[in-house]
Amino acid sequence: MTRNGSSFLDLNYLDILASGDTVIHRIDPRAKVLATALFIIFVVSSGKYEVSSLLPFFFFPVILISLGRLPTRYILLKILFLSPFILFVGIFNPLLDTAPMLHYGTFSLSGGWVSFFSMIIRFILTVGSAFILIATTGFSQICAALEKMGMPKTFAIQLLFLYRYIFVLGNEVLRVSRARELRSFGNRGKELGVFGSIAGTLLLRTWDRAQRIHMAMLCRGFRGEFHFRRPCRIGKAEVVFLACWTSFFALCRMVDIPALMGRFISGVIR
């Protein structure tokens, strides 16, 4: 299996991590979904030149990883695997925004580089929080929570199926790609017509696989209902969890904590 293929399929490990039994895992999925959604909104809505003010937001993923006993290296590798997308989008910022913004002696940093670094930080925070949410909740639990929060049941089920069938499609793509590589050498098998044939074969194979999976689900009693592994209720822990993190996010947006700490330390040293 190729390196990219193994990284793609390794996303199943997030659902395995969701079966843990820690204080974060036991919190109602709705509270975690709301907290993560608010976190992403506060981070994404920050100014494009904000860098230092985003650093306190790292407390949220760090604390959840620690309390949820999640493998930090695994989460970081998943973020790194997706990083080329944001790098490709943001690398043009320094070329488009060349006005100097920060000066330190003879060194100056343009606004494009500042916005590029800000974009990378926001990407790490938002993507990391999404992985942590799945690793502490499970995607099926997230879909069930969204349904209980008002999402139409059909949309929630389709979202769950989309997540599940991504791995089915990924498996078929890897098998077809491996079969093509074993039957060709050099530049053979890379013609446009070959890829058209592969796409048709992939469509037929995934269609047949999806039908067999659907029949297996019906045989096991699936009727479009979500089932929680733990009792679903909003209690004192969920209210405290959501209230504390919401207050913290609002504080981070209203107050530049790193700048405030820098001024305080400078005043003490003087």
Tens-digit pLDDT profile for residues 70-116: 999 989 988 888 888 888 888 888 777 777 777 666 677 777 888 88
Sequence ranges of the domains in the chain: 1-137+235-270, 151-229
| Residues 6+ positions from 101 with CB-CB distance below 8 Å | 49, 108, 109, 110, 111, 114
Per-residue pLDDT at 32 exceeds 60: yes
d(CA 186, CA 172): 23
Looking at residue 105, what is its pLDDT?
A: 66
Looking at residue 13, what is its pLDDT?
A: 79
Q: What does pTM read for this prediction? A: 0.79
Residue 213 CB coordination number (10 Å): 14
Helices (H), 10-110: 12-17, 29-44, 59-68, 72-90, 93-96
